[in-house]
Amino acid sequence: MSNIIGRDKEIKALQEYMSSGKAEFIAVYGRRRVGKTFLIRELLGNEFTFEVSGTINGKKSEQMFNFIQALRRYGYDRTDIPTDWNQAFGILQQMLEDKVGCQRCIIFIDELPCFDTTKSDFIRAFDHFWNGWAAHHSNIKLIVCGSATSWMVDNIIDNHGGLHNRITHEMHLRPFTLAETENYFKEYGFEWNRLSILQTYMVLGGVPYYYSLLDKKNSLAQNIDRLFFGEDGEMRREHDRLFKSLFASPDSYLSIIKVLSENKQGLSRDEIANKAKLSNNGRLSKMLTNLKNCDFIRSFNVKEKKIKANAQFYQLTDLFTLFHYTFAQKTTTDEHYWSNMIGTSRMNSWLGLAFERVCLLHIPQIKSTLGIDRIHTEYYSWRSKHSQPAAQIDLIIERADNLVNVCEVKYSEFPYSISKAEETRLRNRIGCFQEETQTRGGLHLTFITTFGVKKNMYSDCVRNELTMDDLFR
What pLDDT score does 385 carry? Answer: 67
* Residues β-bridged to residue 465: 447
Distance CA 383, CA 391 (A): 6
Alpha helix stretches (DSSP H) within 277-394: 282-293, 319-323, 337-341, 345-360, 363-370
Mean pLDDT, the chain, integer: 92
User: What is the value of pTM for the model shown?
Assistant: 0.93
E-strand spans in 86-175?
Answer: 105-110, 140-146, 169-172
The backbone torsions φ and ψ at residue 51, rounded to the nearest 5 degrees and listed phi first, read -140, 140
Res 211 pLDDT > 90: yes
Share of the chain above pLDDT 70, in %: 97
Distance CA 181, CA 106 (A): 30
Given pLDDT bands bounded at 50, 70 and 90, which one contains residue 307?
A: low
Res 449 pLDDT > 70: yes
| Domains of the chain from N-terminus onward | 8-172 (3.40.50.300), 177-361 (1.10.10.10), 362-471 (3.40.1350.10)
Half-sphere exposure of 419 (CA within 13 A, CB side): 3
Angle at 293 between CA 208 and CA 347, to 5 degrees: 55
Q: What is the three-class DSSP state of 268?
A: strand
pLDDT per residue as tens digits for the range 359-380: 999 999 999 999 999 999 988 8
What pLDDT score does 78 carry? Answer: 80
Distance CA 180, CA 157 (A): 27
Distance CA 213, CA 235 (A): 9
pLDDT per residue as tens digits for the range 376-390: 998 888 877 676 667
pLDDT per residue as tens digits for the range 122-165: 999 999 999 999 999 999 999 999 988 888 988 898 887 777 78
pLDDT per residue as tens digits for the range 92-129: 999 999 899 889 999 999 999 999 999 999 999 999 99
Q: Taking Cα atoms as reference points, which of 356, 408, 355 lies closest to residue 195?
A: 355
Q: What is the three-class DSSP state of 414?
A: coil
What one-character DSSP code corresponds to residue 443? E
Neighbour order of strands in the sheet with 48-53: 48-53, 105-110, 140-146, 24-29, 169-172
What pLDDT score does 305 carry? Answer: 58
Q: Does residue 229 contact residue 338 with C-beta atoms inside 8 Å?
A: yes
